[in-house]
Amino acid sequence: MEKFSLESFQHKVDDVLVRHSSILDILTKLQESSARINRAVAKSATFCGCIELNITKQEVPQDISYSQLKDYMSSHVTGNLCDVCREKIEQELSINFFYITALANAFNTNIEDLLNNYYENQLKTLGKYGLL
Ligand SMILES: [Zn+2]
* CATH number, domain with residue 38: 1.10.287
Q: How far is the CA of 81 from the centre of ligand 1 (A)?
A: 5
The reply to whether 2 falls in a domain is no
Distance 44 CA to ligand 1 centre (A): 5
Q: Can you give the pLDDT at residue 130?
A: 67
The pLDDT assigned to 123 comes to 87
Asked whether residue 102 is domain-assigned, the answer is yes
- Distance from Cα 37 to the centre of ligand 1, integer Å: 14
CA atoms of 43 and 59, how far apart (whole Å): 27
CA 71 to centroid of ligand 1, rounded, Å: 27
Mean per-residue pLDDT, 65-84: 92
Whether 112 maps to a domain, the answer reads yes
Distance CA 120, CA 118 (A): 6
Whether 1 is covered by a domain: the verdict is no
Question: Residues 22-53: pLDDT tens digits?
Answer: 999 999 999 999 999 999 999 999 999 999 99
Centre of ligand 1 from the C-alpha of residue 35, in Å: 18
Between 127 and 43, name the one with better pLDDT. Answer: 43
| Most confident region among 12-26, 31-45, 115-129 by mean pLDDT | 31-45
Using the predicted structure, report yes or no on whether residue 109 has a pLDDT greater than 80. Answer: yes
Residue 28 within any structural domain of the chain: yes
Which residue in 129, 118, 125, 113 sits closest to 10, CA to CA? 113
Alpha carbon distance 79, 116 (integer Å): 33
Compute the average pLDDT of residues 54-76. 89
In the 8-state DSSP scheme, what is residue 130? Answer: G
d(CA 7, CA 13): 10
Total number of domains constituting the chain: 1
Domain of 32, in residue numbers: 7-130
Res. 1: pLDDT tops 80:
no
Q: How far is the CA of 89 from the centre of ligand 1 (A)?
A: 10
